[in-house]
Structure 1
C-alpha cells in the first residue's frame, strides 16, 4: 500500500520524466512531421511517376524487338551538346521507358527513351522532379550539413522521447495490454483525457517501428551513420583480390586498349590519366544527392580497370561496348530494371547493379553489384546480398522496409505509419494547448509540466537514458549544449526562466 510519502516520491519521479519527455517532444515533433510528410510524398512519387520518371509508358509494338542500347544512347546524347553518357537504366517493364543519364560541362540530364523506336520521350535535368525535392527535404531540410545534423539530433532525441513515453504510460496503465488498448479509466471523460489516451496508445503501437525507422534512417546520417557505423561496417574491398590500388598503365598499351573500345562518348570513356586514388562506391556511383548505392558498399573503395585481376567475364573475342555489356548483364541473371554505370576515366569500371534501395526490384535479398574491367572484360567483383556482413544485411532489409519497396503491403504500412506519426505529434501539441494556464500572467512561455516546481533529476532513469544518448553522438552533444545553456544563461535571466521553465 502506498503511503503519502511514497505517493509524493512517485509523483515527483513522474513529473521529472514528464518534463524530460515534454522538452524532447517540443524539439523533435516538428521534424517528425516534416519527415512523415516528405516520406508520404516520396512514397507517392516512387509508385506513380517513379523516382526518376522510369514509369513513363510507351506503346509496345507487335514486334517487341528493342533497338540496340547504343542507338538509344546516341539519340539521348543528341539532346545535350558535347555530352557524355554516365548511366543507362534498363526499362522496368516491357511498356516503360529506358533512361540515360548524360552530362556536359555544366548540365546533367536524365533522358527517357522509347526502347523500341529509340525516340526521345522526355529530357529533364537530373534530380529535378518532385521525388528529389521531397528526398532533399527528408535528407537535410535543403540546408546541407546543418540540416543533416538537425535531423540526426531529432532522430536521436526521438529515441529518448520514446523511452520516457513508455515509462509515463506504464505508470498510468501498469500492463502492456492496457497500454495498447484505448480506454479511459477515469470517470471524468474530459477532452484532454481522451486526447492523451489516443496520443499514448498510438505512441505505444508505433513506438517500436519508430525506433526502427530512427535507427535505420540515422545509418545514412553524417555523424552516427558515416562516422560511426559505416566506418566499421563497410564491405571488404579486397575480398576477391582486386582491392583498388594505384595502377600505372603503359601509354602505348593504354592507347591500344582505348582503340578497342569504340565510340567513347557513348561508352563514357574519358582519355584521362590513371587515378592515384580510387573513389569510393558512393562518390563514384551516386549521380545525385539521392542515394543509389547499397548502404554497405557506400564507403567501400571501387576496383580499378587495367590490372591482371578478375576472371569469367566477357569473352576476349567480343568487343566491350554498351550493347555487349548489356547483353552480358542479361546472361548473368539481371532481369527487368537494372543500372549500368559506364567507366569514367582511364581506370574506371563498368558497374552493373540492381538493388531495392534504388527501386530496381522489391526484395533486398536480390541485391547484386558487378564490376567489370573496361579493357579485359574480366569480372573484378560480383557482390551479392549473402556477401554483406550481418549489419549490412540488416540495413539492406531495413531500408527496404523504411522506403516501402517490398510491395503494396509495405507501401500501405508506411502510409499508415506516417499518418500515425503526424497524428501523434499533433495530439501532443493539442494536449499542451489544453493544459496551458488560463490566466494571462501564467500563460506566457512553454508551460512545461510542474511549472514552477523544483523538479530534481531522477538518476535511476536518467543514467540509462544518458547511456543511450552516448551511443548517438548528436544526442549527447545536444544534451550537454542545453545543460550549459540552462546553467550559463537561462537560470540567470528572469525572462528566459519565465518563458522556458
Structure 2
C-alpha cells in the first residue's frame, strides 16, 4: 500500500513537472511570437479587403461606363505611351468587370512603378496609381518583411517556426488530462472571474483553430528566405532543363516579373530562369514584311490572340525586358487572377516571331507546388465570400488569442515587482523523451527556429537558472 502511494506521488510529481515545463516553453515561445501574430493578423485583414479599399480610394480612376466595343490592347497601350512617353510599359492587366478600367503598368524614369488606368472603350487615360502606395502593397510588405528587408524576413521566419512550438505546447496544455483541465475544455466559464474566462477563451480558441493556424504557418513559411526559398522552394522549382531543352535561358528568373513586394508569379516558378527570344534573324527585314511589328517586337494583339487560343480568359501580359526578353502571359492564384489553381498557366512567347517558347500548367507542378497553389487562394480568401468571411474570422480569432494571452500574463504576473513571471521549473528525474524529440524535430526542420531554441536553452541553463538577478527577474 505504501509502495503504491509512493508510486502515485512520483507519477503526479512527474506529470506536474512536465506540465510546467511545457507551460514554460509555451510562455517563452509566446513572448516572441505574440507581437508577430498581431502584426500578421492585422495586415492580413487589410489585404483581405484590398478590392474594397482600392474602390473607395480610387473610384474615379477605376469605374468606367460600359460600351459595346473595346479598343485593341495595342491601342490602349499606345494611349498610355503617348501620355507618358518617358515611361516603360511593363504589363497589361485587363479588368475583371465591364465597368472597370484596364491597368497598364509603367515604370517611371526614377524606377517607380505606376498603374496607368485606361478606359478600354475610349482609350482615355484616366490617371495613375502608385503601386507602392496602395494599402495592399504596404500591408503586404509589412506582412513579408516588417519593412526591414531580409532582417524582417528572418524575424518572421523565426516567429513562424516558434509558432509551431507554441501550437504543439498549447495543444498539450489544452488537452484534458485531469479534473482541472476537463472543467474548461470546450467551455467558456463566464461566471468564474476574468482569469478563468480569459484562460478558457485563449485555450479553446487556440485548440479548436490549431489546424487553421498550422495551415497559415506552413503556407507562410514557404515564402520565407531560409526555410522557404533555400530548403523548400528550390526543390519545387519548375524543372527547366527537362521541359525547355536546349532553348536559350536568361540570367533573369521569373521573380524579376514581380513588381516590388507584390508576388505575381507562381511560387514554384520564381527561382526558375526565364527563356529568351531569338535575336539572330534580321529584324529590319521582318519589320518590312510584318507591319504590325514595332521596334523589333510583334504586336501585343497577336500575343493576346495566341493566349486566348490557348484558353486564357483572365490573365496579365508582361512585356519584353530588353532585346532578348519575351512576352509572358500568366494567370495564377498567387496574383489573384483566378481562384481555381488547376487553371494556373504561364506561357512565354518569342517577342519577334510570336512562337510559344514555354508553357507551364498545373500538370507540371510538383505535389508541394500544387498544394501551395491551392493554399494561396485559401490563404488570401479568394475562393468565395465564405472563404473571405472565414479568413476575417480567423484573423480576429488569432488577435483574440494573442490579446487573451497578454491579459492572462498581466493578471498572473508578480505584483509590485519587475519580475517577468515565467512559469516555474520543477525538478524531475529522467528525460522527457517526447518533449525532447519534439524540440529536435522542430530544430532540424526549421533551422532559424532551431537556432533560437538552442540559444534559449543555453541562456536558460547558463544564465537564467544560475545568475541570481536574472533568476529573480524571470520569476
Do they fold alike, i.e. is TM over 0.5?
yes
Note the C-alpha offset of 1:498.
Answer: 2.1
Structure 2: runs of 5 or more not aligned: 281-288
- What SS does the corresponding residue of 2:99 show, helix, strand or coil? coil
Note the C-alpha offset of 1:499.
Answer: 1.9
Residues 83-482 of structure 1 correspond to what in structure 2 (within 5 A)?
A: 83-106=87-110, 107-172=112-177, 181-182=186-187, 189-242=192-245, 245=248, 277-283=250-256, 285-306=257-278, 319=293, 320-336=298-314, 338-438=315-415, 440=416, 443-450=417-424, 458-482=432-456
Paired residue for 1:40, among 40, 45, 48? 45
CA contact (8 A) 1:52 1:127 kept: no
Further displaced range: 9-18 or 78-87: 78-87
Quick one: structure 1 residues 244 and 223, their matched pair in 2 at CA, closer, same or farther if it must change by over 3 Å?
farther
Distance across 1 between alignment mates of 2:269 and 2:200: 44
Quick one: structure 1 residues 178 and 211, their matched pair in 2 at CA, closer, same or farther if it must change by over 3 Å?
farther
Further displaced range: 52-61 or 363-372: 52-61
Note the C-alpha offset of 1:81.
Answer: 4.2
Note the C-alpha offset of 1:178.
Answer: 8.5
Residue 13 of structure 2 is aligned to residue 13 of structure 1: no
Note the C-alpha offset of 1:120.
Answer: 1.6
Residues 478-489 of structure 1 correspond to what in structure 2 (within 5 A)?
A: 478-487=452-461, 489=463
Distance across 2 between alignment mates of 1:307 and 1:179: 71
What is the aligned length? Answer: 454
Note the C-alpha offset of 1:377.
Answer: 1.4
TM-score by length of 2: 0.88
Distance across 1 between alignment mates of 2:182 and 2:84: 62
TM-score by length of 1: 0.84
Other-structure match for 1:59: 65
1:366-392 deviation per Cα after TM superposition (whole angstroms, max 9, x unaligned): 111111111221111111112211111
- What SS does the corresponding residue of 2:359 show, helix, strand or coil? strand
Note the C-alpha offset of 1:172.
Answer: 4.1
Note the C-alpha offset of 1:56.
Answer: 2.1
CA contact (8 A) 2:95 2:102 kept: yes
The root-mean-square deviation of aligned C-alpha atoms, in Å, is 2.8
Going by fraction, where is helix more abundant, 1 or 2? 2
Note the C-alpha offset of 1:79.
Answer: 4.0
1:453-487 deviation per Cα after TM superposition (whole angstroms, max 9, x unaligned): 55786343122232123201110011122233345
1:1-59 deviation per Cα after TM superposition (whole angstroms, max 9, x unaligned): 98222111111111111111111111101100110000000001135527997992211
1:146-200 deviation per Cα after TM superposition (whole angstroms, max 9, x unaligned): 11011110000010111111111124469x998862255xx98232122111111
Note the C-alpha offset of 1:244.
Answer: 5.3
Distance across 1 between alignment mates of 2:316 and 2:233: 23
CA contact (8 A) 2:248 2:276 kept: yes
Further displaced range: 98-107 or 422-431: 98-107
